[in-house]
């Protein structure tokens, strides 16, 4: 029997004390940027290190309370740990960390850390920030993400009124201890989540949620906000007080704002931006244009799109109805025709990119079988859709391709089951509000991985939770027991076996029809460098501090 490894200690050396010299850093120019970072050999001079990327305007840059407020801007904050291009936890504010039992974890923070206004940043700031994230008064819809921390779940649900009992303590200014409810070998993934950022108590006390407004905000990453013109754009620049390992090459990142629904590739074609997300509807034009075709990159989306059901109320409290809806979803049509090969069929939650990806393992219970679907509806008392209440299929801030998928689902239900479904769209914030209130009988949504561990895709989303704390109302005690056991299991083979069993239980109970795992498409200018290209031709997850503008030949 393999002995589980329960000692995790990752050490990394980072330079400290540079914040004292922040005011002495040179002006941008030549081969060194304004914070003293030497540029790559093929980079243009520092004065030309400017990247432009459009995004919707954030409502706030405070994701630790409302993660969907931040849209697609750079988050200029550094959590305890950071994710590399392969999503492995690496040093962030903490330069080393470890645990002897998987329960009590010690994080050693860099000395000399400062906020972007020069004020000190210590372990006590992280204690305050975690307490704020998990205070019920904050109504953080992502609070469940941190339930592994001792007393977190009881505090969030109002069962424990003592916020100071949360299992996170500052031993001194540079030593933070986090205690979990049970063994949690994946805790480094949790604390590397981008929303687990420190926030400055004095500004929150003074301005509340408006502390990230441009006239107030201070940050702690390699970037700081230099300009935020509401309705127009945001500009980020290097933070001279940052003394960590993730200093940027770029001198400016400019985010012009636009509505997500108005996204097109026209600004990219006009050289107004250096990168642009691509909707499937633009592929024909891109692939027929020699330069645009060269600029197109693909990346693993690490996501799962699914249609969920409200399982505790009629008509979807009948498992036969849920299975019938699932069995008429023609995934091959969606992936190959609508998404033009930009996705693979999904039969469970774990997407490609995870080593636990199961492919079509659950196709026997989730796969396309319209004849069985019709039989199930007859057994449930709805032959040919007769008597079945008209439904609404909710779509969240849909792109043109997602709208097409919604229409395809609508057509499949009508063609195979005789069921009428109306499409209802909502903006991101309204959709998520209704989602957590369990207002939707039927909805299409995606969940993208936060870290590469099955816990993230299974129990963090599908474990039973009371209304207001979980995405959906599905409750399966067998599933809950399996994922609870897996989460605390240190032997990896046993752990993954438990997750595989839990995945099978979920697929066969039909809380959702799993549809597809999407690929990401993006246009990137040939002068944009600093991201990895994988052996299969896809690109890795880029990190803003590694991006830079390179010299290119005129003919490139």
Are residues 200 and 311 part of one domain? no
Neighbours of 381 (CB within 10 A): 13
Are residues 323 and 197 part of one domain? no
Radius of gyration, CA atoms only, the chain: 24
Q: What is the mean pLDDT of residues 255-284?
A: 88
Nearest C-alpha neighbor of 521 from the set 298, 342, 292: 298
The whole-number pLDDT of residue 5 equals 32
- Assign 187 a pLDDT band (cuts: 50, 70, 90): very high
Residue range 51-109, pLDDT digits in tens: 999 988 999 999 888 888 888 788 899 999 999 888 889 999 999 999 999 999 999 99
Burial of 136 (0-12, 13-18, 19+ CB in 10 A): middle
Q: What is the mean pLDDT of residues 534-543?
A: 84
Q: What is the mean pLDDT of residues 120-143?
A: 95
Q: What is the mean pLDDT of residues 263-278?
A: 92
The whole-number pLDDT of residue 73 equals 83
Sign, CA torsion 453/457/463/466: positive
Are residues 477 and 340 part of one domain? yes
For Cα atoms 411, 307, 407, give the angle at the middle one, nearest 5 degrees.
Answer: 25
The whole-number pLDDT of residue 458 equals 96
**Alpha helix positions (H), 27-118:** none
Q: What is the mean pLDDT of residues 146-170?
A: 97
* DSSP string of 133-149, one letter each residue: HH-GGG--TTGGGGTTB
Are residues 188 and 319 part of one domain? no
Question: How many domains does one find in the chain?
Answer: 2
Length of the chain: 556
Q: Is the peptide bond before 371 cis (omega within 30 degrees of 0)?
A: no
Nearest C-alpha neighbor of 186 from the set 486, 412, 507, 502: 486
Which H or E run includes 363? Answer: helix 363-366
Decide if 117 contacts 218 (C-beta within 8 A): yes
**Residue 295 located in a structural domain:** no
Residue range 397-442, pLDDT digits in tens: 998 899 999 999 999 999 999 999 999 999 988 999 999 999 999 9
Q: Could you give the CA distance from residue 276 to residue 296 in angstroms, rounded to a whole number?
A: 10
| 310-341 per-residue burial string, b: 16 or more CB within 10 A, e: under 16 | bbeeebbebbbbbbbbbbbbbbebbbeebbee
Choice among 57-61, 376-380, 473-477 with the minimum mean pLDDT: 57-61
The whole-number pLDDT of residue 253 equals 97
Q: Could you give the CA distance from residue 192 to residue 94 in angstroms, rounded to a whole number?
A: 10
Structure tokens at 382: 């709805």
Decide if 33 contacts 238 (C-beta within 8 A): yes
Question: Residue 66's domain is classified under what CATH number?
Answer: 3.90.76.10
**Residue 133 located in a structural domain:** yes
The whole-number pLDDT of residue 222 equals 97
**Residue 277 located in a structural domain:** no
* Distance set, CA 360 to CA 363, 389, 495, 517 (Å): 5, 32, 21, 12
**Residue 429 located in a structural domain:** yes
**Residue 88 located in a structural domain:** yes
* Distance set, CA 103 to CA 106, 177, 470 (Å): 10, 10, 25
Are residues 449 and 318 part of one domain? yes
Decide if 61 contacts 212 (C-beta within 8 A): yes
Question: Residue 387's domain is classified under what CATH number?
Answer: 3.10.105.10
Nearest C-alpha neighbor of 401 from the set 539, 289, 499, 305: 305
**Residue 265 located in a structural domain:** no
End-of-domain residue from the set 191, 211, 231? 211
**For residue 14, is pLDDT > 90?**
no
Strand partners, 448: 303
Strand partners, 392: 422
Q: Could you give the CA distance from residue 347 to residue 515 in angstroms, rounded to a whole number?
A: 7
**For residue 262, is pLDDT > 60?**
yes
**For residue 28, is pLDDT > 60?**
no
End-of-domain residue from the set 211, 228, 251? 211
3-state secondary structure of 32: strand
Decide if 82 contacts 90 (C-beta within 8 A): yes
**For residue 140, is pLDDT > 50?**
yes
The whole-number pLDDT of residue 1 equals 30
3-state secondary structure of 452: coil
The whole-number pLDDT of residue 27 equals 54
**Residue 348 located in a structural domain:** yes
The whole-number pLDDT of residue 10 equals 32
**Residue 50 located in a structural domain:** no
Are residues 454 and 349 part of one domain? yes
**For residue 377, is pLDDT > 90?**
yes
Are residues 188 and 310 part of one domain? no
Structure tokens at 318: 């009948």
pTM of the entire predicted model: 0.83
- The domain of 387 spans 303-519
Are residues 192 and 331 part of one domain? no
The residue ranges of DSSP E strands in 450-555, in sequence order, are 512-524, 528-529, 548-549
End-of-domain residue from the set 156, 187, 211? 211
């Amino acid at each position: 029997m393999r002995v589980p490894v329960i000692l995790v200690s990752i050490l990394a050396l980072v330079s400290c004390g540079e914040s004292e010299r922040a005011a002495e850093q040179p002006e941008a120019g030549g081969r060194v940027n304004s914070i003293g970072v030497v540029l790559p050999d093929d980079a243009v001079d520092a004065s030309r290190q400017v990247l432009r990327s459009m995004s919707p305007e954030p409502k706030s840059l405070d994701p630790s309370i409302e993660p969907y407020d931040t849209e697609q801007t750079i988050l200029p904050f550094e959590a305890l740990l950071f994710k590399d291009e392969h999503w492995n936890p690496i040093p962030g504010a903490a330069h080393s960390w470890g645990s002897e039992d998987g329960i009590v974890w010690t994080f050693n923070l860099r000395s000399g850390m400062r906020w972007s206004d020069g004020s000190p940043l210590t372990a006590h700031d992280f204690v305050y920030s975690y307490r704020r994230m998990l205070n019920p008064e904050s109504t953080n819809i992502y609070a469940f993400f941190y339930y592994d921390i001792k007393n977190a779940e009881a505090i969030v649900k109002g069962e424990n009124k003592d916020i100071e009992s949360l299992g996170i303590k500052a031993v001194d200014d540079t030593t933070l201890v986090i205690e979990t409810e049970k063994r949690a070998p994946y805790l480094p993934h949790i604390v590397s989540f981008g929303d687990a950022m420190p926030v400055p108590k004095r500004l929150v006390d003074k301005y509340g949620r408006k502390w990230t407004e441009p006239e107030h905000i201070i940050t702690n990453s390699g970037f700081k906000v230099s300009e935020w013109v509401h309705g127009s754009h945001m500009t980020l620049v290097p933070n001279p007080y940052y003394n960590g390992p993730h200093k940027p090459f770029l001198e400016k990142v400019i985010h012009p704002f636009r509505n997500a629904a108005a996204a097109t590739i026209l600004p990219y074609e006009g050289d107004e931006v250096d990168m642009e997300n691509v909707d499937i509807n633009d592929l024909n034009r891109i692939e027929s244009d020699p330069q645009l075709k060269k600029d197109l990159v693909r990346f693993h989306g690490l996501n799962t799109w699914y249609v969920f059901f409200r399982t505790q109320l009629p008509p979807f409290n009948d498992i036969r109805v849920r299975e019938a809806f699932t069995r008429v979803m023609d995934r091959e049509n969606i992936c190959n025709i609508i998404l033009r090969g930009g996705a693979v069929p999904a039969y469970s939650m774990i997407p490609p990119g995870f080593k636990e990806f199961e492919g079509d393992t659950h196709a026997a219970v989730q796969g396309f079988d319209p004849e069985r679907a019709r039989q199930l509806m007859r057994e449930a008392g709805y032959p040919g859709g007769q008597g079945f209440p008209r439904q609404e299929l909710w779509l969240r801030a849909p792109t043109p391709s997602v709208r097409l998928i919604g229409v395809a689902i609508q057509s499949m239900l009508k063609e195979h089951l005789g069921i009428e479904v109306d499409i209802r769209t909502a903006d991101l914030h309204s959709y998520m509000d209704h989602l957590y209130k369990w207002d939707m009988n039927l909805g299409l949504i995606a969940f993208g991985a936060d870290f590469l561990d099955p816990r993230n895709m299974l129990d963090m989303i599908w474990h039973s939770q009371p209304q207001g704390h979980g995405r959906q109302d599905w409750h399966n005690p067998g599933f809950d027991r399996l994922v609870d056991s897996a989460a605390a299991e240190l032997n990896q083979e046993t752990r993954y076996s438990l997750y595989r069993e839990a995945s099978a239980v979920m697929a066969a109970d039909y809380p959702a029809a799993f549809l597809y795992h999407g690929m990401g498409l993006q246009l990137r200018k040939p002068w944009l460098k600093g991201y990895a290209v994988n052996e299969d031709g896809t690109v890795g997850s880029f990190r803003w501090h590694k991006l830079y503008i390179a010299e290119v030949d005129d003919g490139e």
